[in-house]
Structure 1
């Protein structure tokens, strides 16, 4: 029972970093181990009675603050509308050469959005053509600035089919992987989730969503463009575009340029991935989470142990 209580607190602590209350079912999904439902309900009742966690309607939180529930409900409604837009965006972006899969990521994939939220997208490309695909997509994104829709096309994280496994393995990356909402490329994401089965070590109760993605259709112009670059010239061009992009991003980082959210612009670059790297964000978040869990367990040792 003590271990279960600790795990419930740890699960709520992770989402407390984002001020996001959870339902009973969501707590079960994000627990790091499997438990009998009856035992889980007893542990939850004990934690509520001891005021280690607080219940407001169907939501649970570490803070005795009902505003968090209103914030979540508003965010869920906003996310519902934005996800519909994101699916339309996916219908456009899947037409670009070498794009094999598109998923919603970030806070929107956790069903939350506010007035400042973007549509963050996770992109899978064909092997060894990530940089051709990314360059074409980002040229298109520049055009969206003309109609003030750039926040609909935040293509933040790219990987290719040659390296589907996420290298960093921790609670943050596991949560990000299992909460992705695939919207294009069902078989591609089936392969992706298979390659990242390690997430079950962190979140054994979570079932990853492949059925939310559309199947890939043949697009004549896309196929013709890929045929033009499926050769040695395409290899050289992809390498060259990677080096150019890496150089530009290094310059942005050295100049300490900030994005619209005031975060330092930085990107990790490789032949098979392109991903944001804002000031050791993962390390800082995990450190905050672990500190919060440690404080909870120290301050409430007696209640948790019984």
Structure 2
């Protein structure tokens, strides 16, 4: 096996360490394939990543490998944690697909994708199912109101749905260009509307600046082409009228006013005619701050960096 040039080796070592430092914030180790996909800011082949991971390099003092999972040295307990959460996630995936398919049949829904911790199969008991939803232009708030009905129905069965990110087809390009948002996009798993998902990725090519090896979905659960269901087409007809337009404008004005008042702490939410981003807990801000605190500390070849 030919050795990588020293400068290339050092670049990959630091990128791998940054990648593992990020996921460690979520108690989540990675396989070599996952490290390659989510490698922080460096184009690489899986072969090169594997070579660095298995070489006698300065990275060996920083990273542990257990049962095929890589984590920061001293954090080996996250491997068992991931395995336990993966079992919990399998049960929730069935519900995510069930309700995702129901949502996909509602009027004006063009794409449904799972995001958040479930997208990585890293959930705890009684976790929410986060959805990213793309709607037809001019019907976002009306569509959201219909989906809220599904959310309430699921809650009666003890299933917590959280469709917390809606965008219309005209707003697929996201302005929030951070490693956090890049990871959310790269990790999302489309359940329906694969062509719309592909347009979403195309209009957010900036994601590849952060994660250059993470092109396309991590897994495909949506069909390549999904013809519009007859029920969706029929239920859209009465809403493609002046009455439907009036309902959209009424619901939009009502909910934007209400949700804006509820946004007391987080600056991450956004409520407009083409977007409803209900991120009230400032999770992104906390994650980015913690990540920056880690990667600004020196890469220590003699042992695990303090994190």
Contact 2:13 2:52 (C-alpha < 8 Å) held by counterparts = yes
Runs of 4 or more above 6 Å deviation: 301-304
Match of 1:181 in 2: 189
Residue 228, structure 1, aligned to residue 238, structure 2: yes
Question: SS of the counterpart of 1:177?
Answer: helix
> TM-score, normalising length from structure 2?
0.86
- Cα distance change of structure 1 residues 135 and 52 upon mapping to structure 2, 3 Å threshold: same
Deviation of 1:217 (Å)? 3.5
Q: Equivalent residue for 1:4?
A: 12
Q: Which residue of the partner structure matches residue 171 of structure 1?
A: 179
Looking at structure 2, the residues matched to 63 and 301 of structure 1 have their Cα atoms a distance apart, in angstroms, of 12
- Asked if 2 retains the 8 angstrom alpha-carbon contact of 1:53 and 1:62, the reply is yes
Partner of 1:237: 247
- Output the aligned Cα RMSD: 2.5
Match of 1:43 in 2: 52
Q: Distance in 2 between matches of 1:211 and 1:66?
A: 30
Hey, what's the Cα distance between the residues in 1 that align with 2:281 and 2:163? 19
User: What are the ranges of 5 or more consecutive residues in structure 2 without an aligned counterpart?
Assistant: 1-8
Task: Tell me which moved more, 129-138 or 192-201.
Answer: 192-201
Output the CA distance in 1 between the equivalents of 2:239 and 2:197. Answer: 24
What is residue 282 of structure 2 aligned with on the other side?
A: 280
SS state at 2:128 partner: coil
Task: Report the counterpart of residue 206 of structure 2 in structure 1.
Answer: 198
SS of 1:159's equivalent in the other structure is strand
CA separation of 1:35/1:80 partners in 2, compared to 1, >3 Å: closer, same or farther?
same
> 2:24 is matched with which residue?
16
* Mapped pair 1:76 → 2:86: yes
The correspondence of residues 62-101 of structure 1 with structure 2, limited to 5 A, is: 62-101=72-111
1:88-108 superposed Cα distances (whole Å, 9 cap, x missing partner): 112211121111111111111
Query: TM-score scaled by structure 1?
Result: 0.86
Measure the CA separation in 1 of the matches of 2:262 and 2:245. Answer: 26
